[in-house]
Structure 1
Amino acid sequence: MLDPTETTYPADYLEFRRRVVRGVRFDRLDLTIMHGDGNVIAVVDEVRSNLSDVDVDGVLAKEVCTSFRSPRVDGISFLRTTGDRVRMNYFERDGTNSQMCGNALRCSARYCVERGYLDESGFILTGDGPKWVSTVAGLTQVALGAGREFTRVADDQYFVFSGLAHLVVLTGNLDAVDVQARGAELRYDRELCLRLRHPEGLHVDFMRRDDDGIRIRTYEVGVEAETLACGTGAVGSAYVAHRIWDLPYPIRVRTPGGELTVDSGAHGLLLSGTVGYLFSGAHVGV
């Protein structure tokens, strides 16, 4: 597990630079490793890396993500800029192309604003449609749209689509949950996935109510493990908490990697929290 407050130089970066995958030289990649509350995201600038649309696929995504052992890279955001338009193409660690990742969107927003690709607020195109992002006053905030497909699955289980499919499981003792075992069991429950019309699998959030918000732990599809934070999971869990407990927005969401805030605004559900840099290959003269 990564300490999200610690800036890390990957020990395997020199080895990474020597790799060539299907004609793509990794020493030419403009690579930045960031995190959203400990959820580690690789960001690749497609234009500065001279990548074509054909180059960017699940094979390349998986090879980049799994090249690093420390920190574990949970997913990768490929960013393409065309004029004043920015597109985020997101892949999970295992190469699965996902339409959304809340923390990748936050990392991408900060990256783009600081490089002049976006003003302090604007829109990034994603597989789940255009998403409003903002970095005003140093706060990186992104909108994931409305909570969708809300369904009560069982007495202690609720489903919501918050950019990705999430099953929220209520628990009174979050620390005692075996997130790996129970999360995988529900994620691969084919009958449940088909019933909820999401055969691709379910992210699973285990949620406990606190006096001033909620706490969650998340098993993520594509990582196939618990992550320190999940942006769509925080938004989905907060939406469920709002619906079943009438918790008012903004809602504090505590994760193993840090605290996020979910609010409601003109562009839908808003996610904010810590966004930081772990490593930028473009800035290392080796």
Structure 2
Amino acid sequence: MPVESMIASYPANEKVMKSEKELSFAKYSGAGNDFILIDNRSPHELNWPLIAKQLCHRKEGIGADGLILLELSDRASFRLRFFNSDGSEAEMCGNGARTAVHFAASLGIQTKNFYTLQTKERILEARLKDQGIEISLGEVLDIQWHEEIELNGQPWRFAYLNTGVPHVVHFASDIESFPLLAIGSMIRHHEAFKPNGTNFNVVKLHHTHIEVRTFERGVEDETLACGTGVAASALAASVLHGLKSPIQVHVKSGDILEVNFTLHHKKPQKLTLLGPVKRLFDGVFTLSV
């Protein structure tokens, strides 16, 4: 059922409100990654980090992994700002960007099924396809295929790469019983990745596909999918274990994402992410300003 109205936040001891502002939103899922999307093309000068924390709260808000603002751009079809559920602003979000393309189309931003997206650091491309929405992820940075740190007094081996945001990729034979929250939190805050931290993915290899679970920085928990993490995991599976593009990636939600790329001397190129997007509901929330 659509959310009709919601109070974002009022201090318990506040008796008089100066004013109220209503904002429309759409709630989306990108392969299980859920987001609140707001049309901010007529900019609202608000405390977006605080609003993101309030709206994304699973018990006292709408509930989401992140908040996405769609804004005007003089360099692309539109500009995106990504806020994690803890209020931090992210450089990029793969599944979030895919949901934003669907949202843009619903707002009447039509470019014959082809869009360009301005993120904090990149200009990306996106296409609407029968199988879902596909986005390019741009250049892969900071690639380290064979890394090792000490964790709980033991050596810990992994791949590290930035597919828009930083990711650690670790392979395991059993990812269902893998202690993702404990290990993910330790890796995310490890000295080796300070000051900004990293996301963590644990991957199970199959002959024709991979399975991935992800602990996301900024959400500080496991998410049902992570687009940039899926891409990082697929690249590591190809370079380190010989899987060929395109790679099907099974995520926690049960959905399947497809990662396409080419490799040149182990350097990824033409990296794209394709998968399903669902518009869950629309609503309006009210906040005091």
Per the shorter chain, which TM-score range?
0.7 to 0.9
Bigger fraction of residues in helix = 1
- Choose from 49, 65, 74 the match for 2:65: 74
8 Å CA contact 1:58, 1:95 repeated in 2: yes
Task: Establish whether residue 65 from structure 1 lines up as the match of residue 56 from structure 2.
Answer: yes
Q: How many residues align?
A: 263
- Output the amino acid matched with 2:224: L
Matched with 1:168 is: 169
Task: Establish whether residue 103 from structure 1 lines up as the match of residue 103 from structure 2.
Answer: no
* Alpha-carbon displacement from aligned partner over 1:26-84 (angstroms, at most 9, x marks no partner): 5x21200101111111101113xx533x3253122222222755873000110013577
C-alpha distance in 2, partners of 1:269/1:24?
A: 46
Matched with 1:210 is: 206
In the TM superposition, residue 130 of structure 1 has moved relative to its aligned partner by 0.8
- Output the amino acid matched with 1:136: K
Secondary structure of the residue aligned to 2:103 is helix
The runs of 5 or more residues in structure 1 that have no matched partner are 1-7
C-alpha distance in 1, partners of 2:222/2:116?
A: 29
Counterparts in 2 of 1:224 and 1:188: CA distance versus 1, 3 Å: same
Task: Establish whether residue 92 from structure 1 lines up as the match of residue 89 from structure 2.
Answer: no
- Choose from 40, 52, 56 the match for 2:34: 40
C-alpha distance in 1, partners of 2:239/2:230?
A: 14
Secondary structure of the residue aligned to 1:156 is strand
- Choose from 70, 84, 105 the match for 1:113: 105
C-alpha distance in 1, partners of 2:8/2:52?
A: 15
Task: Establish whether residue 149 from structure 1 lines up as the match of residue 142 from structure 2.
Answer: yes
In the TM superposition, residue 250 of structure 1 has moved relative to its aligned partner by 0.5
- Output the amino acid matched with 1:30: S
Secondary structure of the residue aligned to 2:100 is helix
Matched with 2:153 is: none
8 Å CA contact 1:147, 1:239 repeated in 2: no
Matched with 1:261 is: 258
Matched with 2:196 is: 200
Matched with 2:119 is: 126
Aligned-pair identity (%): 24
- Output the amino acid matched with 1:95: G
Secondary structure of the residue aligned to 1:201 is coil
Rg (Cα) greater in structure: 2
Secondary structure of the residue aligned to 2:261 is strand
Which of the pair has the greater relative contact order for Cα pairs under 8 Å at 6+ separation?
2
Secondary structure of the residue aligned to 1:181 is helix
In the TM superposition, residue 246 of structure 1 has moved relative to its aligned partner by 2.2
TM-score by length of 1: 0.84
Structure-to-structure mapping, 1:261-280, within 5 angstroms: 261-264=258-261, 268-280=270-282
- Output the amino acid matched with 1:279: F
Secondary structure of the residue aligned to 2:219 is coil
Matched with 1:4 is: none
TM-score by length of 2: 0.83
C-alpha distance in 1, partners of 2:121/2:229?
A: 15
Secondary structure of the residue aligned to 2:237 is helix
* Alpha-carbon displacement from aligned partner over 1:78-137 (angstroms, at most 9, x marks no partner): 001357730000000000000100011000011112322142112010013111011134
C-alpha distance in 1, partners of 2:24/2:104?
A: 13
* Alpha-carbon displacement from aligned partner over 1:218-239 (angstroms, at most 9, x marks no partner): 0001110000000010011111
Matched with 2:230 is: 234
The runs of 5 or more residues in structure 2 that have no matched partner are 12-16, 149-155, 263-267, 285-289
Matched with 1:30 is: 24
Secondary structure of the residue aligned to 2:126 is strand
